[in-house]
Structures are given as structure tokens and as C-alpha cells.
Amino acid sequence: MTIEVDLAAPLGIADLRVARAPITVLVGPDVRERLAAGRVFLAEVLGEDRAVYGATTGFGALVGYAGRADQRDQADNTLAHLGAGQGPDLDPDLARATMLVRAHSLARGASGVSPHVVDALAAALGTTFAPAMPRLGSVGASGDLIPLGAAAQALRGRGNAYLRGTRLPAAQALRDAGLEPLPLDGRDALALVNGTSLTTAATALALHRIRVSHRVIQALTCVLADLLGCDPQFLDEGLLTAHGHRGAVEVGAAMRSVLAGTAPSGTRPLQEPYSIRCAPQLLGAAEDALRYVDGVVAADLAGVSDNPLFFPGRDQVVHGGNFFGQPAAFAADVLTMVLAQLGNLAERQLDLLVDPVRNGGLPPMLAAGPGRQHGLQGVQLASTALIVEIRRDAMPASMQSLPTNLHNQDIVPFGTQSALRALDQSRLLGLITGSLALALRQAVHVGARRPTAPGCARILDALAAAIPPIDPDRPLEADVRRAAEIAEGLTR
């Protein structure tokens, strides 16, 4: 059954995730009334010869020059010069999420956009159509101009697009999907590109993936502590309450529920390494930071990212900077910091588990026959490479401003780079957590005790049921991905 998304309702991350497949986008009477009112007001404004950026003027630094008199030609004037993107195409799933974010922003009715533009976005989302959008070209200010320009052109039947995952000329993709090329005037064209919908979509999807990994690491930390026989006092409610941070209190409560019923072995040191003992403080700080990003994403999904905005009730056309993606840029950089430290934690826990000096006497690398077999040795090497890849690219992008556009854009947030990087790295984080989950499954095979907490036993049993022990050695890349999927499924 096709999922419905109502443009009159708040937009959530779950909506962006389901948009990878065909969805029914509802454009109800309230949305149509807002769009019609905005369009009538735009016609009145243009009839009074008021200056409207992008409708009567050139673009960017050329705003002081008149645009083309014919509004259909003005659409070409808007979009042609934006065909300058480079690099690989963005994932079609992300492109479709971007279209949904753009449709929701335009449906607020403050953009003066033609109703048929929103209808066209809705119709495209009802198929497998996805515009081919270049990864490189946006500075996250004045909107994601170049990638959104490619999306607008694809909707017009120019450039390229994907249909059922196959890259095609956009005109053919539209025709095969049963869609008509989208006619645009100057205001419509600018409204499609003059927002940070790509940045918002990528930040939202990265946030989802990192929240999943955050929950997985909480659960796997509990399984690790149980297998090793750790004393769970590091999760004591009074201890964490005294710490004074909401995130640590909440994470500690969640972890105590997973570890409920555990029986300490009595053979562990009084104080565990920080990768166990300080896990609730680290994961709690991550929760506090993710909560901040929750708020930014919610605001971006609910807001209008465009310029200018039209307010018929006030008889105003207001020119400003609602296309400036600084909130998402900061938020995406926070995501990068969070996921890097989550990756650090999971990688250090994996290192602890394969080390016979610290793992309670289990064989090195959790090998069933050390020397003749190598257990997790290759997986640990790969995990080290993954976390280095994350850390190498962890420099915040949100303050790397570089003036452009004849100093019209004299300060920019680079939020698109922040968001796309966070989304990329969130996938790597999932592979690190999958590596840790695989190691926990192997630990019991080579001599670790079975979990004593029912919550931990449930996780380990699910891993063991799907993944055979590493005995003898075998290629493990698919097992890492499978372990990640299982752990993520158990902690949703």
C-alpha cells in the first residue's frame, strides 16, 4: 500500500525516509488556498511594477540589472547558469527526500509559487522518478542553488534523472513515468532553487542514522559488560543523577533496563576502563547534543526556506535571507562530532574485546585457534580504517566561509558540505557498530560466558541465530553488515 504524506501536516524524518519509494503526496484544500492567494498577490505586485527579486531582476550579484521581460524566458535565465555542478550524482533516495522537503516549504504559501509546481513535485514523488543532482556546487547560502537547479531542470525534462534506479535523460524518465515536463516562470524557477532543502534532507537523514547507532552502542555496551562480568554500578541511578546531565540520566536508565538481572562475575577490576565505565556519560552527552539537532531539523522541516517571501495579508514582499543554511550547518557539524566520538567508543570497545590482557582471558583476536585462525583480526583492521576515515574528515565546515558571487555572498555557511559529510559518515559508523556486534557474537563461541541479563541474552541470541561462529576463518564483510542490521533492528 502506498504511504500518504499530507503537505498540510508537519513533515517528519519518517516521511523523508519513506519517500525513497513512491508515496502519495496530498495537496489539500488549505494548501491550495494558500498557494492561490500567494500567486494572486504576486500577479498584483508585478502589475504594480514593484521590484521582485528573480521575477523582475537578474540574480545574485546581478540583481541591479533587469531580468528578461518574458517570464518563461526568465525561468531559463534563472536555471541555465546554475548548470555548473560537478562530482557524482547524489543518492536518488536523498534526491527524492529533497523534493519532498522543497514541496513542503513551497506549500506554506509564502513563496508566490504556481500551484502546478507543487502538484508536479507531488506527482513525481508518486513514481520512482528522482532528479540527477550533482554532489558538488552548493555553498549552502542562497539555497542549494546548483543541485536544486539540476532538480528543477530534470522536472522540465532537461538534464538527467533516475527512474527505477536507472539513470536516463530526464525527458525519457518523465515520459516513462507518465509525467509531463514542468512549465516554469521566473518566480517558480527561483522558488524551486532558492532554499536549503538538500541540506535539510541530508541533515535529517543523518540524524536518523546516528540516533539508530547511538541506541545500538548503548545496547552493545551492555552486552559487553555482561559477557565480561562487569559490575553495573557505573550505571547507578544516584550516580548519574548527581552528574546533573539529562542525557546521562536517560541513557543510564535505558542501559539499566537492558542489563537488568545481570550477575557480576566478581573477577573484574574495581574500576573498568573508560570505554565501559564512562559510557553513560559519553552516550548521555551525545543524547544532549542530538536533542539540539532534533530541534534544528524540526524547525527546518516546518519552515520556509526561500527569498523573497510574500505576505498578502500585509501587502508585503519581503527580501531577506531565509535561504541561509547556518542552523543546519551548525547542526550537521555537531552530528559529525557526535558520530566521531560514538565511533571512537565502539572501536575502543572492540579493541578491548579482542585483547587477552583485558578481555578476561579470551583468546587474542577471539580466534578459535590462534595462529591457525585469526578471528576478528581483519575486522579490527578495517574498523581502525573506518574510524580514521571519520576522524580525518571531522573538521567543521560551518565556519569555513569563503566569499563568492562578487561579494554578494560574502559570508556563507557551507551547510550542504556539513550535511552530506554527516550522512556519509553515519554509514561508516554503522559498519563500526556491526564490527563490535560481530565480535560479541564470536566472544561467546571462544569462551566468554553467556549473558546473564535477559535483555543482553536476547541481543546475543539474535546475532548467533543469524551469523555462524568464525571457525574456521572466512571473509567477514557481509557478516559485519548483517550484524549491524540485526543490532539496529533490535534497538529500534
Write out pLDDT tens, residues 261-279.
Answer: 999 999 999 999 999 999 9
Which pLDDT tens digit goes with each residue over 417-426? Answer: 999 999 999 9
pLDDT at 398: 84
Whether residues 336 and 424 share a domain: the answer is: yes
| Half-sphere CA count of 380, side-chain side, radius 13 A | 18
**Cell numbers of 178, please?**
507518465
Task: Kindly give, in sequence order, each residue whose CB lies less than 8 Å from that of residue 261, ignoring residues fewer than 6 positions away.
Answer: 452, 453, 454, 455
pLDDT at 492: 80
CATH number at residue 352: 1.20.200.10
pLDDT at 404 over 90: no
Domain boundary among 127, 162, 195: 195
How many domains does the chain fold into?
2
Give residue 457's domain range. 202-490
Whether residues 187 and 70 share a domain: the answer is: yes
Whether residues 154 and 238 share a domain: the answer is: no
What is the distance, to the nearest Å, from the Cα of residue 25 to the centroid of all Cα atoms in its chain? 21
CATH number at residue 60: 1.10.275.10
Average pLDDT over residues 100-127: 97
Whether residues 214 and 166 share a domain: the answer is: no
Whether residues 149 and 280 share a domain: the answer is: no
For the chain, what percent of residues have pLDDT higher than 90? 86
pLDDT at 407 over 80: no
Whether residues 141 and 253 share a domain: the answer is: no
**Cell numbers of 435, please?**
564490527
Domain boundary among 147, 175, 195: 195
* Coil, strand or helix at 7: coil
Place of cell 585483547: 355
Which pLDDT tens digit goes with each residue over 14-61? Answer: 999 999 999 999 999 999 999 999 999 999 999 898 888 888 888 777
Minimum mean pLDDT among 43-52, 145-154, 340-349, 433-442: which range?
A: 43-52
Whole-number mean pLDDT of the chain? 95
Domain boundary among 149, 178, 195: 195
Give the separation between CA 108 and CA 318, rounded to whole angstroms.
15
**Cell numbers of 201, please?**
534532507
| Half-sphere CA count of 260, side-chain side, radius 13 A | 7
Whether residues 110 and 63 share a domain: the answer is: yes
DSSP string, 390-422: HHHT-S-STT----BTTTTB-S---HHHHHHHH
Whether residues 270 and 360 share a domain: the answer is: yes
Whether residues 184 and 207 share a domain: the answer is: no
pLDDT at 104: 98
pLDDT at 489: 95
Whether residues 297 and 155 share a domain: the answer is: no
Average pLDDT over residues 117-133: 98
Task: Kindly give, in sequence order, each residue whose CB lies less than 8 Å from that of residue 147, ignoring residues fewer than 6 positions away.
Answer: 85, 90, 98, 133, 134, 135, 137, 138, 198, 416
Whether residues 443 and 313 share a domain: the answer is: yes
Give the separation between CA 421 and CA 392, rounded to whole angstroms.
12
DSSP string, 26-47: E--HHHHHHHHHHHHHHHHHHH
Higher pLDDT pick, 99 / 75: 99
Task: List, by residue number, the catalytic residues.
Answer: 53
Phi (first) and psi of residue 395, to 5 degrees: -60, 125
* Coil, strand or helix at 467: coil
Whether residues 323 and 284 share a domain: the answer is: yes
Handedness of CA 330, 333, 337, 343 (dihedral sign): positive
Which pLDDT tens digit goes with each residue over 158-187? Answer: 999 999 999 999 999 999 999 999 999 999
Give the separation between CA 391 and CA 436, rounded to whole angstroms.
18
pLDDT at 408 over 80: no
**pLDDT category of residue 153 using cuts at 50, 70 and 90:** very high
